[in-house]
Amino acid sequence: MTGSVPADPLQRAVDALRRGGIVAVPTETVYGLAADATDGQAVARVFEAKGRPQFNPLIVHVADRAMADQIAAFDALSAALADRFWPGPLTLVLPLKEDTAIHPLVTAGLTTVALRMPQGPALEVMSKLQRPIAAPSANTSGRISPTSAQAVHDDLGTKLDFILDGGPTQVGLESTIVKVEGGTIRLLRPGGITAEEIEKAVGQTVTSAGARPAIEAPGMLASHYAPAAAVRLEAEALQPGEALLAFGNSRIAGADAALAVRNLSPSGDLREAAANLYAHLQALDRCGAGMIAVETIPHHGLGVAINDRLSRAAAPRGK
Ligand code: TXA
Ligand code: MG
């Protein structure tokens, strides 16, 4: 059972998060690798620490329903599920509100957000922080999710600002993810709450994802963000009428005549670049250019994930 934690370490976790740090916090399911969900650079550090090959959208954790309502729009069925199962291991995929403070890196630029109110120390942390936290499981990508502070320490120890020890987690596997679509409940990921429990609570059948992938990764969704403008990579010179997505100490020819320029990180910091990626692409798209030319971005560290997203945006738009 996830125990309570003394006030002192709890406050350290809160302070570290407030400073933009990344902190392992116990939920009732698994230990999460938490960052302030409104802080793009902190969220970028989460992806970096996990070594995620690409920017999968993260679950946003909230302290209460009021916080959830500022982030997402609840249909009646989703509201009933939240009333019944929160706090607890149920994640709801919901339409993202437009004026939300959630950083676009958290949702991978999607128009939906995965939300849950957890049990355990993570909830206490957010109540004090008064902000939502983005938290994937606190493990290196491809490894097993951690259910103890020691497991987190063995895997990610040196990469984190703090590990909040709440003892072994109660549930030990990740939350169930569902999405209400046209009045039906679709199971996107089985987890801590069974389909039967959900069916019993709301008197409605839960449909499995069926032939569709168990998890809708951003690259598979039709709604995945791609700019209206075309995108070309590794640009060495700018053509008239193009917008420029620059990186580092940019010296690209023809940049003076660009319709608009945004630099992902003038100092060449990939973490900063990751945090800026979606917002900069969106800003360049709004300037109305037909083509966004992208300077070469180093293909290491977070650059691999950035290039993965950019190459999806630059891929031929078949459909
Ligand atoms: O129990 C849990 O859910 C743990 C604890 C820490 O809360 N968290 C967790 O997060 O498992 P993570 O990042 O490992 O898994 C999140 C899953 C991903 O598979 C992602 O594809 C899916 O949620 N997801 C996130 N946003 C989504 C969205 N808008 N639509 C569909 N799936 C989404
Ligand atoms: Mg995980």
Task: Supply φ then ψ for residue 33, to 5 degrees.
Answer: -100, 100
**Alpha carbon separation from 187 to 9, 72, 96, 134, 194 (Å, rounded):** 36, 19, 19, 21, 10
> Could you give the angle at the alpha carbon of 97 between the alpha carbons of 92 and 98, nearest 5°?
150
For the chain, what is the mean pLDDT? 89
**Which residue from 25, 96, 106 is spatially nearest to 60, judged by alpha carbons?**
106
Do 7-218 and 230-314 fold alike per CATH? no
Query: Any idea where the domains of the chain sit in the sequence?
Result: 7-218, 230-314
Confidence of residue 215 (pLDDT cuts 50, 70, 90): very low
For residues 192 and 176, is the Cβ–Cβ distance under 8 A? yes
CA of 138 to the centre of ligand 2 (A): 7
ipTM above 0.85, yes or no: yes
Res 212 pLDDT > 60: no
Residue type present at position 315: A
For the packed helices 40-50 and 302-314, what is the interaxial angle rounded to 10 degrees? 110
**Closest approach atom of ligand 1 to CA 135:** 6
Superfamily classification of domain 7-218: DHBP synthase (3.90.870.10)
Rounded CA-CA distance 178/283 in Å is 32
Ligand 1 pocket, residue 106 CB under 6 Å = no
Give the pLDDT confidence of 4-53 residue by residue, as tens digits.
788 899 999 999 999 999 999 999 999 999 999 999 999 999 999 998 76
Confidence of residue 218 (pLDDT cuts 50, 70, 90): very low
Specify the CATH architecture of the domain 230-314.
Answer: 3-Layer(aba) Sandwich (3.40)
Beta bridge partners of 26: 31
Give the pLDDT confidence of 173-201 residue by residue, as tens digits.
889 899 999 999 999 988 888 888 899 99
Ligand 1 pocket, residue 174 CB under 6 Å = yes
Ligand 1 pocket, residue 177 CB under 6 Å = yes
For 125, the 3-state DSSP assignment is: helix
